[in-house]
């Protein structure tokens, strides 16, 4: 073979190899195009959503009142024993009311006399031996003395300090025989069972606070967990703190919880077994809302969704998708509407 023929053969061989390589590359590119962009995807299912909230709270007495007298005078009865439990209506102290009691006894005696006089005059009126005017005067005397008796009894009640509810006496501020005024605080009476747990919930979570919902709390560094049940909330959200004040009742039958204690409160805002959850990374922000990318018939489809509750690892989808939909978790920046995709289903995100 001549040198010229050898050069021609070599050139043809190189061109043949180049053509085969271009064909192979073109085939690979076409194959990838038909298979679509490889992405990770997740099949949406119904899952329970539990969002916990940790807040600071304070334990308050079930009821609390400062014991005061309504009148001025010397304490002649004194039953305020510090730390002792008392019953509703129990007499705790009494201001000197001897003059009023003496007046009351006189009024009762006078009432007996005028009632007897009235009875005689009624008999005389029955036989027309007495005018109606004289009978009316006797009736007015009876009514007047009865009114004075009620006034004296009311004054005696003002001189008495009674327990308005079952509770425990705190530390007293006066001693037996002290002269007190209407503004003198004798002691504080608190109700220790049940107790009230008070805490504030940020505005964004206020929707999750419902009457009758149970919460748990711990005290200080103690691990013991207690239960309480929400019974009331403030009517409005505080404009300064942007939080809703909440109160719950806590049983304290053993009396081992001290009112005024600091409490760490935790409760679940929602526990819905029919919630669609997706990864926060699957959301595509758009003007005026959020989108997700679904894999439908091997192509990317953008869908607008409405989100609900959020946790550190999941987002609740209220509307826009259904159970069984396949959501793209990767490749969100590369795909466009209708882009072919090849999905690799993952169990979780």
Query: DSSP of 164-231, one letter per residue?
Result: SSSEEE---S--TT-EE-TT-EEEEEE--SSEEEEEEEEGGGGGG--TT-EEEEEETT----EEEEEE
In a domain, 17, yes or no: no
pLDDT at 118 over 70: yes
Do 281 and 341 fall into the same domain? yes
β-partners of residue 262 are: 58
According to the model, what pLDDT value does residue 34 have? Answer: 52
Which pLDDT tens digit goes with each residue over 129-145? Answer: 888 998 899 999 999 99
pLDDT at 85 over 50: yes
**DSSP assignment letter at 44:** -
At 11, is the pLDDT very low, low, confident or very high (cuts 50, 70, 90)?
low
At 10, is the pLDDT very low, low, confident or very high (cuts 50, 70, 90)?
low
Do 54 and 74 fall into the same domain? no
pLDDT at 30 over 70: no
In a domain, 305, yes or no: yes
For the segment 67-72, the average pLDDT, to the nearest whole number, is 92
Q: What is the CATH number of the domain that holds 84?
A: 2.40.50.100
Do 226 and 295 fall into the same domain? yes
* CB-count exposure of residue 33 (10 Å: 0-12, 13-18, 19+): exposed
Do 238 and 254 fall into the same domain? yes
According to the model, what pLDDT value does residue 26 have? Answer: 44
Share of the chain above pLDDT 90, in %: 68
At 23, is the pLDDT very low, low, confident or very high (cuts 50, 70, 90)?
very low
In a domain, 30, yes or no: no
What's CA 308's distance to the chain center, in Å? 20
* CB-count exposure of residue 152 (10 Å: 0-12, 13-18, 19+): buried
β-partners of residue 172 are: none
According to the model, what pLDDT value does residue 274 have? Answer: 66
For the segment 258-265, the average pLDDT, to the nearest whole number, is 93
In a domain, 198, yes or no: no
Domain count, the chain: 3
Do 147 and 221 fall into the same domain? no
In a domain, 203, yes or no: no
In a domain, 222, yes or no: yes
Q: What is the CATH number of the domain that holds 138?
A: 1.10.287
pLDDT at 262 over 50: yes
Q: What is the extent of the structural domain holding 124?
A: 97-158
Do 238 and 337 fall into the same domain? yes
According to the model, what pLDDT value does residue 207 have? Answer: 79
For the segment 181-191, the average pLDDT, to the nearest whole number, is 93
At 183, is the pLDDT very low, low, confident or very high (cuts 50, 70, 90)?
confident
At 31, is the pLDDT very low, low, confident or very high (cuts 50, 70, 90)?
very low
According to the model, what pLDDT value does residue 316 have? Answer: 86
Do 249 and 138 fall into the same domain? no
Do 111 and 185 fall into the same domain? no
Phi-psi category of 339—alpha, beta or left, where left has phi over 0 and alpha has psi -120 to 50? beta
According to the model, what pLDDT value does residue 57 have? Answer: 95
pTM of the model: 0.61
Spatial contact of 62 and 150, defined as CB atoms under 8 Å apart: no
Cis before 14? omega within 30: no
pLDDT: is 118 or 274 the higher one? 118
Q: Report d(CA 264, CA 218) in Å as an integer.
A: 5
Do 291 and 304 fall into the same domain? yes
pLDDT at 165 over 50: yes
According to the model, what pLDDT value does residue 273 have? Answer: 53
According to the model, what pLDDT value does residue 278 have? Answer: 93
Do 151 and 163 fall into the same domain? no
pLDDT at 349 over 80: no
Q: What is the CATH number of the domain that holds 219?
A: 2.40.420.20
According to the model, what pLDDT value does residue 150 have? Answer: 95
For the segment 184-204, the average pLDDT, to the nearest whole number, is 93
Which pLDDT tens digit goes with each residue over 70-83? Answer: 999 999 999 999 99
pLDDT at 224 over 70: yes
Which pLDDT tens digit goes with each residue over 275-318? Answer: 788 999 999 999 889 999 999 999 999 999 998 777 778 888 98
Do 267 and 342 fall into the same domain? yes
In a domain, 19, yes or no: no
3 state DSSP class of 57: strand
pLDDT at 157 over 60: yes
For the segment 9-30, the average pLDDT, to the nearest whole number, is 49
In a domain, 201, yes or no: no
Do 216 and 322 fall into the same domain? yes
At 268, is the pLDDT very low, low, confident or very high (cuts 50, 70, 90)?
confident
């Amino acid at each position: 073979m001549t040198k010229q023929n050898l050069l021609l053969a070599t050139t043809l061989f190189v061109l043949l190899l180049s053509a085969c390589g271009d064909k192979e590359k073109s085939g690979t590119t076409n194959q990838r195009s038909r298979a679509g962009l490889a992405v990770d995807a997740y099949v949406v299912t119904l899952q329970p959503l539990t969002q916990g909230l940790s807040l600071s709270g304070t334990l308050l007495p079930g009821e609390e009142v400062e014991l005061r007298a309504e009148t001025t005078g010397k304490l002649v009865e004194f039953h305020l024993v510090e730390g002792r439990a008392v019953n509703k209506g129990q007499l705790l102290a009494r201001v000197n009311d001897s003059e009023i009691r003496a007046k009351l006894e006189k009024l009762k005696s006078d009432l007996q006399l005028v009632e007897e006089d009235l009875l005689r005059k009624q008999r005389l009126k029955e036989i027309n031996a007495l005018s109606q005017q004289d009978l009316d005067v006797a009736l007015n005397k009876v009514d007047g003395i009865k009114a004075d008796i009620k006034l004296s009894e009311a004054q005696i009640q003002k001189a008495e300090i009674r327990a308005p509810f079952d509770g425990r006496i705190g530390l007293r501020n006066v001693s037996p025989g002290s002269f007190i005024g209407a503004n003198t605080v004798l002691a504080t009476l608190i109700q220790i069972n049940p107790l009230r747990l008070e805490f504030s919930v940020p505005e964004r979570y206020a929707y999750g606070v419902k009457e009758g919902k149970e919460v748990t709390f711990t005290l200080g560094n103690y691990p013991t967990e207690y239960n309480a049940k929400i019974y009331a909330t403030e009517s409005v959200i505080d404009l300064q703190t942007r939080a809703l004040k909440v109160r719950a009742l806590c049983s304290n039958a053993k009396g081992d919880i001290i009112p005024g204690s600091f409490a760490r409160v935790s409760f679940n805002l929602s526990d819905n077994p029919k919630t669609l959850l997706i990864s926060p990374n699957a959301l595509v922000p758009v003007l005026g809302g959020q989108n997700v990318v679904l894999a439908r018939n091997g192509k990317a489809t953008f869908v607008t969704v409405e989100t609900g509750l959020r946790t550190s690892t999941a987002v609740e989808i209220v509307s826009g998708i259904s159970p069984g939909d396949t959501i793209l978790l990767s490749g969100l920046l590369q795909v466009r509407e209708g882009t072919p995709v090849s999905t690799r289903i993952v169990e979780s995100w």
